[in-house]
Amino acid sequence: MRIRYLTAGESHGKALVSIIEGIPSGMKLDVGFINDELARRMKGYGRGKRMLIEKDKVQILSGTRKGKTLGSPVTLLIENKDFKIESLPSISCPRPGHADLAGALKFGERDIRNILERASARETASRVATGALCKILLSEFGIKFLSHVVMIGGIKAEKRFSFGKMKLLAEKSAVRCVDKDASELMKNEIQDAKDAGDTLGGTFEVVAEGIPCGLGSYTQWDRRLDGNLARAVMAIPGIKAVEIGAGFNVAIKRGSEVHDEIFFEKSSKKFKRNQNAAGGIEGGITNGEDLILRAAMKPIATLVKPLRSVNINTKKATKAQVERADVCVVPSSGVIAEGVSAIEIACAMTEKFGGDSLIEMKRNYEGYLKQIKKL
């Protein structure tokens, strides 16, 4: 069965909920790992005061017994400590760059509060929790994910990210930047924006290793894995561009520079590439190389010094609504992108090797690896 999920809940509502169907039975759940992932989403230089209020912890309401999945839908709940949706004031001045105005027009609302409560990025906590559940499943097959900041504003990291030694540096940094000097410059840039009542965007990279060749398909457009990954990452609030592998750089190079030449390694009996410009996906299918995905995030739409707007009720010019918000969330967006990427990879894994139980799925997976070696 292919994994599917839904989330529910508002920013200042009672709780956030995820219902996930398609997780095979017999998988041991690590609640501590899910909570660690939720904590990662809340970190990073430039986060707002809401992060001091919430202490995101997951409650598992269904789909498990004695610490293992049953094969039935898993329900995850995250309570909001800042639960005050009924007492919050109405809003009539939309923020440029937010869903406020478009949402109000779509649903015929005169109170923008009814839009922003669900459009808020607070909902992404549910996706991180769901992604963590999928990461636990994927870890059974040796697949792991990491993310790091590539750029904040105009400040770039100088070094490429990789697993191993760089992992420790990436985890220690306040903005999870591979280059320590660059991370200090990024923090200064974020602080300057905060002092000016402004916000900052940037870019991040997600890297996943251990993904087998053959996930996804070229046979239908909606089964191409790169398309599904791009859709999932683009659906994160604030993301405006996604690239896989060499991304936009392929447009300025010749084919001889872009395409990954193929070799056969006798020792491992595996096909190898001389580079990874494809980012681990060719023709909508994983090719056995690391998945490399980058995304660009716009600055947060809520500004302490608000932009010009219009009161939707009086139609008079005014300043946009000021809500409590972050200055920069690029690092945490990388964590969210890890989560939604893990969901898509897990979907492709269960589709390819699906079974009702983890034992059955592993048997199918191991049989497939033996099949590949015989080619």
| Span 290-336, pLDDT tens digits | 999 999 999 999 999 999 999 999 999 999 988 877 999 999 999 99
Task: Output the six-digit token pair for 75.
Answer: 């329900």
Task: Label residue 196 by pLDDT band (50, 70, 90).
Answer: very high
pLDDT at 167 exceeding the cut of 70: no
Q: Between 183 and 224, name the one with better pLDDT.
A: 224
Say if pTM beats, i.e. exceeds, 0.85: yes
pLDDT for position 325: 79
d(CA 143, CA 345): 9
In sequence order, what E strands does the chain have?
A: 4-8, 15-21, 58-62, 64-65, 68-69, 74-79, 144-152, 155-156, 202-209, 239-244, 262-265, 270-273, 281-282, 285-286, 291-297, 308-310, 317-319
Task: Label residue 364 by pLDDT band (50, 70, 90).
Answer: very high
Q: Between 270 and 317, name the one with better pLDDT.
A: 317
Non-local (6+) Cβ contacts of 133 within 8 A are: 20, 23, 29, 34, 74, 76
pLDDT for position 54: 78
Q: Which residues pair with residue 147 across a beta bridge?
A: 206
Q: Among the residues of 120-204, which ranges form H helices? A: 124-139, 165-172, 180-195
pLDDT for position 211: 97
> What is the pLDDT averaged over residues 346-359?
95
> What is the pLDDT averaged over residues 115-132?
97
**12 by DSSP, 3-state: which?**
coil
d(CA 21, CA 5): 6
Task: Label residue 170 by pLDDT band (50, 70, 90).
Answer: very low
pLDDT for position 291: 97
Task: Output the six-digit token pair for 100.
Answer: 């406020």
pLDDT at 198 exceeding the cut of 90: yes
pLDDT for position 47: 85
Q: What is the DSSP letter of 296?
A: E
Task: Label residue 125 by pLDDT band (50, 70, 90).
Answer: very high
Q: pLDDT (tens digit, 9 = 90+) per residue, 56-91?
A: 999 999 999 999 999 999 999 999 999 999 999 999
Phi and psi dihedrals of 363, rounded to 5? -65, -45
d(CA 123, CA 63): 22
**Percent of the chain at pLDDT above 90?**
82
Task: Output the six-digit token pair for 220.
Answer: 């239908």
Task: Label residue 163 by pLDDT band (50, 70, 90).
Answer: low
pLDDT for position 161: 56
pLDDT at 229 exceeding the cut of 80: yes
Burial of 54 (0-12, 13-18, 19+ CB in 10 A): middle
CA torsion angle 281 286 291 296 (round to 10): 50
- Return the CATH superfamily for domain 4-245+280-374: Chorismate synthase AroC (3.60.150.10)
pLDDT for position 46: 86
pLDDT at 182 exceeding the cut of 90: no
Q: Which residues pair with residue 216 across a beta bridge?
A: 285
Query: For 104-122, b where at least 16 C-beta lie within 10 A, e where not — what string?
Result: beeeebeebbbbbbbbbbb
**Percent of the chain at pLDDT above 70?**
94
Query: For 353-372, b where at least 16 C-beta lie within 10 A, e where not — what string?
Result: bebeebeebbeebeeeeeee
d(CA 112, CA 99): 9
> Residues, the chain, total?
375
